[in-house]
């Protein structure tokens, strides 16, 4: 799931202390900063500042019913915002810092602006592993609300240039951590008393969760869109996308996998973690190419392949 620490240290070095202090000051005065995490780039703001949160929604063109994830430096900070039962504590201890978001009931004195949770009684909390984001949390002393740093409904950014391209003139200061390691958004798990439900598949797989809790996730009811970012069409390029394509049609930009070469190969060796890292970059490249259509080779559904296929299905949905 994660690479060597040397790689992470390299990323941290891309941006110096001065820039982190400048970014922290911007956040403290209610501004926005785009910041790398181990999953995708986030558009961060002080979660307790209603004006700053309104600016996140405006910049992304995000519907106000779609709540934000709040990023915290550690589990003690998380407990100021959300109520952690035994199961939540266990998952946080095992997977934090890392690409797991926990949806738990809000504390009675939860200080985040109401718009962050879009009127829900629950809050989505994540303790990110990326050293730049961790440094920003420590330096600013803030709990940072941060959705992915792209226009609502678009492809999540895994490189600084994706942020610039997606947000255009509205792009704020970007802390450059190079490409994101996991490349796919965090797994979202809602705690349901002594059980849990996977609201969004991600780098922490269903198998990882089962092994660590000794429990299978509750079924999705499918009736209610509880994580509204899970609307059918999401992560969508501007061009039509064809899935499970064994070969390209003329006019198609072809994204391959393993032995199936293409204009872009997600992983020549057929490694699913590598494919996840490259997935959004491949969609950004396909969108920017001169080909009017996109086709993608079949990707196995095991492990993190579940999250990859989830994002692909949404990329291929029209609305």
> In this complex, which beta carbon is closest to Mg ion, that of residue 26 or of residue 311?
311
- Identify the residue among 148, 187, 265, 282 touching Mg ion (CB under 5 A): 148
Which positions ≥6 away from 120 have C-beta within 8 Å?
Answer: 67, 106
Binding of ligand TXA at residue 186 (CB under 6 A)?
A: yes
> In this complex, which beta carbon is closest to Mg ion, that of residue 147 or of residue 258?
147
Find the shortest distance in angstroms from Cβ 253 to Mg ion: 23
Binding of ligand TXA at residue 39 (CB under 6 A)?
A: yes
Interface stretch with ligand TXA, choices 34-42, 171-179, 267-275, 297-305 (CB under 6 A): 34-42
Binding of ligand TXA at residue 126 (CB under 6 A)?
A: yes
Which positions ≥6 away from 170 have C-beta within 8 Å?
Answer: 59
Integer angstrom CA distances of residue 68 from 46, 62, 124: 12, 10, 7
> In this complex, which beta carbon is closest to ligand TXA, that of residue 179 or of residue 270?
179
Q: Report the residue closest to Mg ion, judged by CB.
A: 148
> In this complex, which beta carbon is closest to ligand TXA, that of residue 26 or of residue 126?
126
- Identify the residue among 82, 154, 229, 237 touching ligand TXA (CB under 6 A): 229
| Edge-first strand listing for the sheet containing 252-256 | 241-242, 293-296, 252-256, 264-265
Phi, psi of 58 (to 5 degrees): -65, -45
Nearest to 65 by CA among 236, 234, 209, 226: 226
> In this complex, which beta carbon is closest to Mg ion, that of residue 267 or of residue 278?
278
- Max distance between CA atoms of the chain, in angstroms, equals 58
101 binds, among Mg ion, ligand TXA, none (CB under 5 to 8 A by kind): ligand TXA
Q: Report the residue closest to ligand TXA, judged by CB.
A: 229
Residues that bind ligand TXA (CB under 6 A): 37, 39-40, 42, 66-69, 99, 101, 103, 117, 120, 122-124, 126, 146-148, 185-186, 188, 199-200, 226-230
């Amino acid at each position: 799931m994660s690479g060597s620490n040397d790689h992470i240290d390299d990323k941290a070095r891309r941006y110096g202390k001065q820039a982190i202090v400048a970014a922290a000051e911007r956040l403290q005065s209610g501004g926005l900063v785009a910041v790398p995490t181990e999953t995708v780039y986030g558009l961060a703001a002080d979660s307790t500042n209603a004006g700053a949160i309104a600016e996140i929604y405006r910049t992304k063109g995000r519907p106000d019913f779609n709540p934000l994830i709040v990023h915290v430096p550690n589990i003690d900070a998380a407990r100021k915002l959300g109520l952690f039962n035994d199961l939540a504590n266990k998952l946080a201890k095992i997977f934090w810092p890392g690409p797991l978001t926990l949806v738990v009931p809000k504390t009675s004195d939860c200080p985040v602006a109401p718009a962050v949770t879009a009127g829900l009684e629950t809050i989505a909390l994540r303790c990110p592993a990326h050293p730049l984001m961790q440094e920003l949390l420590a330096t600013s002393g803030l709990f940072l609300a941060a959705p992915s740093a792209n226009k609502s409904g678009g492809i999540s950014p895994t490189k600084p240039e994706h942020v610039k391209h997606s947000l255009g003139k509205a792009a704020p200061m970007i802390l450059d951590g190079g490409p994101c390691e996991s490349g796919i958004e965090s797994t979202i798990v809602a705690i349901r008393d002594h059980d849990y439900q996977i609201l969004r598949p991600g780098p922490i797989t269903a198998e990882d969760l089962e092994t660590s809790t000794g429990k299978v996730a509750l079924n999705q009811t499918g009736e209610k869109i509880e994580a509204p970012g899970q609307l059918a069409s999401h992560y969508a390029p501007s061009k039509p996308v064809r899935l499970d394509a064994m070969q390209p049609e003329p006019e198609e930009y072809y994204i391959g996998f393993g032995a199936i070469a293409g204009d872009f190969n997600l992983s020549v060796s057929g490694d699913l973690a590598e494919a996840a890292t490259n997935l959004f970059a491949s969609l950004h490249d396909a969108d920017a190419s001169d080909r009017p259509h996109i086709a993608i080779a079949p990707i196995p559904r095991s492990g993190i392949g579940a999250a990859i296929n989830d994002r692909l299905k949404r990329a291929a949905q029209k609305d």
